[in-house]
Amino acid sequence: MAAIIQGIGAATALTSANSLNTKKSLFANSRRSLSEKKGRLFVVRSDGRLSCGLNGRGGRAEQLITNAVDAKEDAAAASTSSKPGHELLLFEALREGLEEEMDRDPTVCVMGEDVGHYGGSYKVTKGLAPKYGDLRVLDTPIAENSFTGMGIGAAMTGLRPVIEGMNMGFLLLAFNQISNNCGMLHYTSGGQFKIPVVIRGPGGVGRQLGAEHSQRLESYFQSIPGIQMVACSTPYNAKGLMKAAIRSDNPVILFEHVLLYNLKERIPDEEYVLNLEEAEMVRPGEHVTILTYSRMRYHVMQAAKTLVNKGYDPEVIDIRSLKPFDLYTIGKSVKKTHRVLIVEECMRTGGIGASLTAAITENFHDYLDAPIVCLSSQDVPTPYAGTLENWTVVQPPQIVTAVEQLCQ
Active-site residues, by number, are 144, 213
Question: Rounded distance, CA 382 to CA 63, Å?
Answer: 25
Residues β-bridged to residue 228: 252
Q: At what angle do helices 2-13 and 144-156 cross, to 10 degrees?
A: 100
Question: Rounded distance, CA 152 to CA 149, Å?
Answer: 5
Report phi then psi at 154, rounded to 5.
Answer: -65, -35
SS3 163: strand
SS3 50: coil
Closest CA to 323 of 276, 369, 367: 276
Question: Rounded distance, CA 90 to CA 58, Å?
Answer: 28
- End-to-end Cα separation, the chain, in angstroms: 62
Q: At what angle do helices 327-337 and 352-364 cross, to 10 degrees?
A: 70
Q: Cα–chain-centroid distance for residue 13?
A: 33
Question: Rounded distance, CA 398 to CA 392, Å?
Answer: 12
Torsion over CA: 100, 103, 105, 109 (sign) = positive
How many residues are listed for the chain in this entry?
408
Residues β-bridged to residue 314: 288
Helix residue ranges, H only, 205-321: 218-221, 235-247, 296-309
Question: Rounded distance, CA 253 to CA 197, Å?
Answer: 9
Q: Cα–chain-centroid distance for residue 86?
A: 23
Tell me, what amino acid is at 241?
L
- Cβ contact 122:116 at 8 Å: no
Question: Rounded distance, CA 44 to CA 202, Å?
Answer: 25
Q: Cα–chain-centroid distance for residue 350?
A: 17
Tell me, what amino acid is at 252?
V
